[in-house]
Homo-oligomer: A and B are copies of this chain.
């Protein structure tokens, strides 16, 4: 078996192998990552695993902390003496979003010495193996607040933001609530966004239960917090590897999803000399395929030499001896882009003589959230995209972010078309493999004033695919692999 079975130390030993084949087999399908996790990150993960073992569901500490929730108030901090505090991630939004927010919540848990518990929703247990060796990460079904999860929203009176706004929250830490709801979804308001300010972090640092609902990869803004930043930089000396490492640490496909991934890989991708992923996500109301999108795919892949040009004049070019085979993996809800691209490379020879096979695992036509097989396929496809050598993604899509992050790939981003028009240029190369935080706060916590948070430090920048988003980039060009 491969030398990198434990992903450079990221993965703990001692997991049962058969119950989650993907965990230790991923290295058979993926090239060894050029990005090494820091030894500090590794040690932090090991101590997190210890914490999770001690505090996870149904442990004594868990049961004790649960009681505080039932009492409603924490005792004074000293008497509470909570050895275990929690971040509860609430199931929300599409699968790509879920993966990014679980990773964000996990990092937040590490930074705050909390235990991450994941609301299983309808699919988490079906899609992902348990990431921690000795206890489940799934929030027990009988968790008292569970019935309220669906109701939590921007206007919920027990959100931290609304409690602040309505001055319900006593700032004295003498009598803290036993839980807080953190509304961090795209529609969150100024008071919710104070979550990212150190003084507020401090104010609820002793609240044992934080319930978090988000559809945003909020990691970049954590790097702007003076209290988190030093630790973050120690954990991730290469700042652009946060999701790359955390994603590969946390998200291991369950055996049936692993079956989808490995069967597809072996049947269609394994034997090619090069694998190219093209992820097409169209945020338009009208059903596709759209001509301006097809034009964009071609403009991007041909101009950037991701795919070879075809010769529409000559009908047959005997391939040169040195020709290579390229497998193009397309993912899209619709069928048309794939059908089109495949037909182009069938009907015409490439000018290079390269042999191009085009593949698309599924065409689900529309986004579904509750069908098991649909979510399995979505996860399998993100993962398959992450196994490619060259990746083209669609702007704004967390589906693509997951693939690029897991794969350690800087994708070509197909810029978002406006007014049904192919953008020019059609795409550009991402500077980083990190996901983009789509709805960051623009607020300077210290000066209590608006600020362009994409302009404060060199490693937190605006995203290439969304001008107001934030993303982590590496600044040291040596690390810029």
Contact = CB atoms under 8 A, between A and B. Distances in A.
Contact of A361 (B21, B346, B355): B346
A419 B389 CA distance: 50
Given A255-B316, A318-B21, A347 B260 contact: yes
A263 B349 contact: yes
Q: Is the interface of A mostly helix, strand, loop or mixed?
A: helix
Contact of A21 (B260, B316, B348, B373): B316
A258 interface: yes
A316 B349 contact: no
B319 A264 contact: no
Nearest to A358: B267
A325 interface: yes
Given A259-B316, A267-B357, A373 B345 contact: no
B259 A315 contact: yes
B316 A346 contact: no
B373 A260 contact: no
A356 interface: yes
B349 A259 contact: yes
Contact of A346 (B263, B315, B345, B347): B263
Contacts of A263: 345-346, 349, 355
A262 to B, nearest CB: 8
Nearest to A255: B316
Nearest to A323: B266
Interface in A330-362: 343, 345-349, 355-357, 361-362
Nearest to A376: B347
A119 to B, nearest CB: 24
A152 interface: no
Contacts of A267: 325, 345-346, 355-357
The 6 closest A-B pairs by CB, nearest first: A256-B315, A259-B316, A267-B357, A255-B316, A266-B355, A271-B271
Given A255-B315, A259-B315, 4 more contacts: A266-B319, A266-B325, A267-B355, A347-B373
Interface of A: 21, 255-256, 258-260, 262-264, 266-268, 271, 315-319, 325, 343, 345-349, 355-357, 361-362, 373
